[in-house]
Amino acid sequence: MERLDAFMARANAAYYATHDPFADFTTAPEISQVFGELLGLWAAVTWQAAGSPAPVALVEAGPGRGTLMADALRAIRRTVPAFGAALRVHFIETSAALRERQRAMVADAAWHDGLDGVPEGPLLLIANEFLDALPIRQFVRTGQGWAERYVREGAFVVTDHEASAVGAPGAAGEGDIVERGEAALAFVATVARRVAEAGGAALILDYGPAESAPGDSLQALRDGQFADPLAEPGSADLTAHVDFASLAGAAARAGAAVHGPIPQGMFLARLGLFQRTDRLARTQKPARAAALIDAARRLAEPAAMGRLFKAMAITHPALPAPEGFAA
């Protein structure tokens, strides 16, 4: 018997070590180069608002293929070369196979297993579809109170332990499930503490509701299809919705300012997704131009990735609301 978070951590470590996750799912930076370019420019403008500290760490958590950072650096060097000169790229990545992919895209980065390895000092951190991969716990409401879900031989079992770890679940009804992503909470609290102490900002993009809600959001993608999350650990990508409201609370308690979450579509549109895409499309052959415009729509339209995905920023409290978050 294994607690769900332990199962999920083990399954995902095996999955990311042995699979090309991008055969199973497509993330925003793989959809359009404009995504990474806009986030790079967001970091550059935020860096200027923070007083242009040098040196500064540009950190990405869970960089996947390295596409986002490669696109970001290209836009930064063209548009804000002083930021390009001041920054050092740090990747937080546990998969050796993906580190190799990232090295091919961004040769002069430093790699770390966690935030601890990133040197002290001001930082700009980006995490796209990182927190959804971190392990969660689930609790189910029974007639006798809350019980925690464990995994045994490919099925959920419920303990009869009093799961006192769940806070104030008053309104829940029997059978309701609540989730808690302790790893994501700990990561965000550490980021927020560092930003509050040393300066800078973090930008988190991921999917999940703006308000915490009960429900089982654990999902598995195997060979590009939704699959049983408990079957064949390591063969599927396991994710869960990110609980933005809890993360915002953790960041605020750590002394940082929190902006958003707002829908990804709104955030990207405010950063100029469509203008930049149009400008780029005008320089391309018709088929490629049409593909770029389709890609921008996919990122921003509510029925695609524009609404379920959210953007949230965590900043030093003295900074103004960052680009895209100001009303």
Cα distance between residue 288 and residue 282, in whole Å: 10
Does 124 engage in binding with ligand SAH (CB under 6 A)? no
Among 12, 32, 217, 246, binds ligand SAH (CB under 6 A): 12
Distance CA 319, CA 327 (A): 15
| Site membership for ligand SAH, residue 130 (CB under 6 A) | yes
Tokens 């000169």 locate to 85
Under the criterion CB under 6 A, does residue 21 sit at the interface with ligand SAH? yes
Shortest CB 111 distance to ligand SAH, Å: 10
Quick one: which of 52, 94, 190, 219 contacts ligand SAH (CB under 6 A)?
Answer: 94
CA pair distance 181, 241, nearest whole angstrom: 9
Piece in contact with ligand SAH (CB under 6 A), picked from 24-32, 188-196, 216-224, 259-267: 24-32
Give the count of residues interacting with ligand SAH (CB under 6 A). 21
Q: Which stretch binds ligand SAH (CB under 6 A): 87-95, 264-272, 282-290, 304-312?
A: 87-95
State the pairing for strand pair 145-152/2-3: antiparallel
Stretch that binds ligand SAH, among 37-45, 127-135, 219-227, 269-277 (CB under 6 A): 127-135
CA–CA separation, 119 and 115 (whole Å) = 9
Q: Are 296 and 277 in contact (CB under 8 A)?
A: yes
Spell out the residues 6+ positions from residue 141 whose beta carbon is closer than 8 angstroms to its own.
Answer: 169, 172, 173, 174, 175, 176, 177, 178
Determine, following the binding rule CB under 6 A, whether residue 5 of this chain makes contact with ligand SAH. no
Is residue 92 near ligand SAH by the rule CB under 6 A? yes
Maximum alpha-carbon separation in the chain: 65
Q: What is the binding site for ligand SAH (CB under 6 A)?
A: 12, 16, 21, 27-30, 62-64, 68, 92-95, 98, 128-130, 133-134
